[in-house]
Amino acid sequence: MPVPFADLQLQYETIKSDIDRAIASVIRDNAFIRGPYVDAFEREFAAAVDVKHCVSCANGTDALYLAMAALKVEPGDEVITTAHSWISTSAMITHAGATVVFADTDGTTFTIDPAAVEAAITPRTVGIIPVHLYGQPADMDAIMAIARKHKLWVVEDCAQAHLARFKGQQVGTFGAAATYSFYPGKNLGAMGDAGAVVTNDSALAEHMTMLARHGGLVKHQHQIEGINSRLDGMQAAILSAKLPHLAAWTKARQDAAKVYDAGLNQIEDVLVSATAPDRSHVYHLYTIRHARRDALAAHLNSKGVQTAINYPTALPFLPAYARLEHRVEQFPNAHRDQGQILSLPMYAEITTKQLDEVIELIRGF
Ligand SMILES: *Cc1c(COP(=O)(O)O)cnc(C)c1O
């Protein structure tokens, strides 16, 4: 029995009539850009995350850009982020006009190491972008304490962590702003590109809204030079149809992770990712470590089990950052992980039988 890495079709089938109705409504109302469906989703998502404002935009990458542009980063400013993430996190620091400074991960949770953040601070540091990677919150107590001490802003990259919690508090509510992606494969996914920034700061929300809409809130009144980054009505209506299911889908991912944990913890060569006790993990990805990762991936693949490597090269070692001339010794955890990590099939609809099959194949290997 093949086990896909994710199965978007299966999710669609469970809510097909809601999605089809949402799409038909947008077409009937000609509400393709802005309009009531986008306004409604912004309200609903802000309520779901427990924040005052949700500024929707075209994707999670733009969301990071909008947050930093609104926080007015300037050339020479340094922004610290994790060595282990998707490239949007660091690339947008550069595109917003600042300088990227990487900090290593903590070696167990795949999230940024607060001690490494502290060590990377210079007089030019203005902000920190922790990433709640794979769906596990970063250590927000430690990160917020460092930010307060050094008067830095924090923007949480929540692209993989919808509804995750740190000590009971939702991610996305700790820093000045937080960014989300609704890329189809994310825990809450559109049927195309979509993203948002959330914040409790009304002035920041207004500035981000302006930036995303050609620099003005009223047509032809451009207060600043903005960009065009819109969530379209169709995606908004689809997201509104899916949002009520997100809590149950998250629970299903967590239940699947428990099955993996129980089975894989018994296998000596497999390192199951640790979830820190005060954090709720929403398992965008279920990622293990294995010393013979590539051989294991090939074995699973030959038996019809799809896997992925998120990500095969840690950010400091990508050609895009060759200019920074980073050395392996500066990021020992991220460097070790890039050679050992393997993401296993994970989605809300995955069955116990499929999970058992993956576990048995790994045991056999
Ligand atoms: C997906 C993702 C992004 C970018 O989101 P897009 O919607 O694809 O632009 C940013 N950061 C992280 C950690 C992501 O996983």
Q: Where are the domains of the chain?
A: 8-244, 246-364
- pLDDT, one tens digit per residue, over 237-269 is 999 999 999 999 999 999 999 999 999 999 999
| Amino acid symbol at 125 | T
Q: Whose CA is nearest to atom 3 of ligand 1?
A: 60
Give 315 Cα–ligand 1 centroid separation in angstroms.
14
Structure confidence at residue 146 as a pLDDT band (50, 70, 90) = very high
Choice among 52, 186, 219, 251 that is catalytic: 186
Rounded to an integer, the average pLDDT of 34-56 is: 97
Query: Does the active-site annotation cover 219?
Result: no
Please give the share of the chain, as a percent, with pLDDT higher than 90: 99
Q: At CB < 8 A and 24+ separation, what contacts does 295-298 make?
A: 295/365, 296/342, 296/362, 296/365, 297/342
Q: Whose CA is nearest to atom 2 of ligand 1?
A: 159
Ligand 1 atom nearest the C-alpha of 194 is 7
Residues having CB closer than 6 A to ligand 1 are 59-61, 85-86, 88-89, 131, 157, 159-160, 181, 183, 193, 195
Q: Whose CA is nearest to atom 14 of ligand 1?
A: 159
Q: Which fold has domain 246-364?
A: Aspartate Aminotransferase, domain 1 (3.90.1150)
With the most atoms of ligand 1 within 8 angstroms of its CB, the residue from 66, 82, 88, 239 to mutate is 88
Q: Decide: 135 and 112 in contact? Cβ < 8 Å.
A: no
Rounded to an integer, the average pLDDT of 82-87 is: 98
Dig out the tokens for 351 from the structure. Answer: 């069955």
Any idea what the Cα angle at residue 189 is, between residues 308 and 310, rounded to 5°? 20
Residues 3 and 10: their CA atoms lie apart, in Å, by 13
Residue 24 has pLDDT above 90, yes or no: yes
- The closest of 255, 241, 242 to 347, measured between CA atoms, is 255
Residue for token digits 């304490």?
145
* Identical fold, 8-244 and 246-364: no
Pairing of strands 153-157, 125-129: parallel
CA atoms within 13 A on the CB side of 339: 8
Residues 61 and 196: their CA atoms lie apart, in Å, by 9
- The closest of 193, 197, 161 to 178, measured between CA atoms, is 197
Give 84 Cα–ligand 1 centroid separation in angstroms.
13
- Please tell me the predicted confidence (pLDDT) of residue 191: 98
Ligand 1 atom nearest the C-alpha of 182 is 7
- Residue 279 CB coordination number (10 Å): 22
- Please tell me the predicted confidence (pLDDT) of residue 105: 98
* pTM of this structure: 0.98
Give 263 Cα–ligand 1 centroid separation in angstroms.
30
Give 246 Cα–ligand 1 centroid separation in angstroms.
18
Residue 95 has pLDDT above 90, yes or no: yes
- Please tell me the predicted confidence (pLDDT) of residue 240: 98
Give 63 Cα–ligand 1 centroid separation in angstroms.
9
With the most atoms of ligand 1 within 8 angstroms of its CB, the residue from 57, 59, 61 to mutate is 61
Residue 76 burial class via C-beta count within 10 angstroms: exposed 0-12, middle 13-18, buried 19 and up:
exposed
- Please tell me the predicted confidence (pLDDT) of residue 298: 98
Residue 323 burial class via C-beta count within 10 angstroms: exposed 0-12, middle 13-18, buried 19 and up:
exposed
Strands (E), the chain: 53-57, 78-82, 99-103, 125-129, 153-157, 165-166, 169-170, 177-181, 195-199, 270-272, 279-280, 286-290, 341-344
- Please tell me the predicted confidence (pLDDT) of residue 361: 98
Residues 123 and 204: their CA atoms lie apart, in Å, by 24
Ligand 1 atom nearest the C-alpha of 131 is 13
- Please tell me the predicted confidence (pLDDT) of residue 84: 98
Residue 273 has pLDDT above 90, yes or no: no
- Please tell me the predicted confidence (pLDDT) of residue 68: 98
Q: 359 CB contacts (<8 Å, ≥6 apart)?
A: 259, 260, 263, 264, 267
Kind plus residue range of the DSSP H or E element containing 335: helix 332-340
Residue 203 has pLDDT above 90, yes or no: yes
> What class does CATH assign to 8-244?
alpha beta
With the most atoms of ligand 1 within 8 angstroms of its CB, the residue from 132, 156, 160, 310 to mutate is 160
Give 184 Cα–ligand 1 centroid separation in angstroms.
11
Ligand 1 atom nearest the C-alpha of 59 is 7
Rounded to an integer, the average pLDDT of 296-321 is: 98
- pLDDT, one tens digit per residue, over 130-144 is 999 999 999 999 999
- Please tell me the predicted confidence (pLDDT) of residue 31: 97
- Residue 155 CB coordination number (10 Å): 28
Structure confidence at residue 187 as a pLDDT band (50, 70, 90) = very high
